[in-house]
A and B are shown apart, each in its own frame.
Chain A
Amino acid sequence: MSVELRLILIASLVLLAGLIGAIWKFTTGRARKISSGEQVDLIELGAVKDGRPVTALTTKVTFLQFSSDYCVFCGPTARMFGELEKADSNVTHLEVNITNRLDLANKYNVLQTPTTLVLDRRGFVKSRIGGAPKQQTVIDQIGTFDI
């Protein structure tokens, strides 16, 4: 292969990588509306909050964050939700590590972590956020609930 052709290929690779990076940056952390009417089974979920199993949702909005052990953005995302929860009594944050809960990963079709389900008081899934959401995305989500 000629040197020119190899350099063109390398330049194409750089462009391709930049394009993939830009697409990922643009699409990650966006909220998608869910209208399938799926309801989260809290018993099966087995979430724990402040050392107690969660058996009922008590606030208007619950952010259910699925995390894993191999996740860079799960910790910062959980911290952001935690701060919002402290500031707004209508908000609850639940985090479930699904590294060893493939049943949940399959049921909710979780491919990447963090993945966040936005739930109403009865546990119906209203939206879904794949990747680490920006704080504004989450605030907009809270705004879609009639508070």
Chain B
Amino acid sequence: MTKNSSTGATQIDPRGPRFGATIINVLSVVIFFFATDKATEGTGAILFGIAAVLFAIGAIFGNTKHPFGWLYRTLVRPRLAPPKELEDSRPPQFAQGVGLFVSLIGLAVYALAVPYGLAAAAAALFLASFLQAYVGYCLGCQIYLGLKRIRVIRSA
């Protein structure tokens, strides 16, 4: 982790957030599987709650303070070559915020007993984490400005 001299933004290994997204991707499949059956929907909701807490940590404190970030640095990174390029820490932090938002929506529709609401939220989480983990898609690049333009996000 270093500071970018021109923007002052923290620079991180881009493979860290993708590693985290891979775990979330697997977790979202498990949640989806549980959420699509009445008998196990409650277990799915608990797992979704755990995901929400993890997203909150990432969104508030950044990916480097995230448990998956720590896992990546201690278990994965020592086995890999150094990163070819570092990236700005803000886009993945924004993605964590989006993940938190989706989790809260999922838990809210579950609380309101919307049929398959939790499953739908798990599906959304699956799509976003899949694209980040395996395709390198950057959610912030695609939607941040759009959300700001339709005034979902206020100026910082």
Residues of A participating in the B interface, judged by any CB pair closer than 8 Å: 1, 5-6, 9-10, 13-14, 16-18, 20-21, 24-25, 68-76, 98-100, 102, 105-106, 110-114, 131
Contact = CB atoms under 8 A, between A and B. Distances in A.
B148 A71 contact: no
A110 B144 CA distance: 11
Given A13-B32, A13-B123, A13-B126, A70 B131 contact: no
Contacts, number: 96
By secondary structure, the B interface counts as helix
By secondary structure, the A interface counts as helix
Contacts of B155: 100, 102
Nearest to B9: A69
A33 B94 CA distance: 32
Interface residues of B, number: 33
Contact of A24 (B37, B85, B137): B137
Given A10-B32, A72-B88, A24 B149 contact: no
A72 B149 contact: no
B138 interface: yes
Contacts of B134: 21
Given A21-B131, A70-B94, A76 B36 contact: no
Contacts of A110: 145
A-B pairs, top 4 by smallest CB distance, nearest first, are: A70-B140, A21-B135, A17-B130, A70-B144
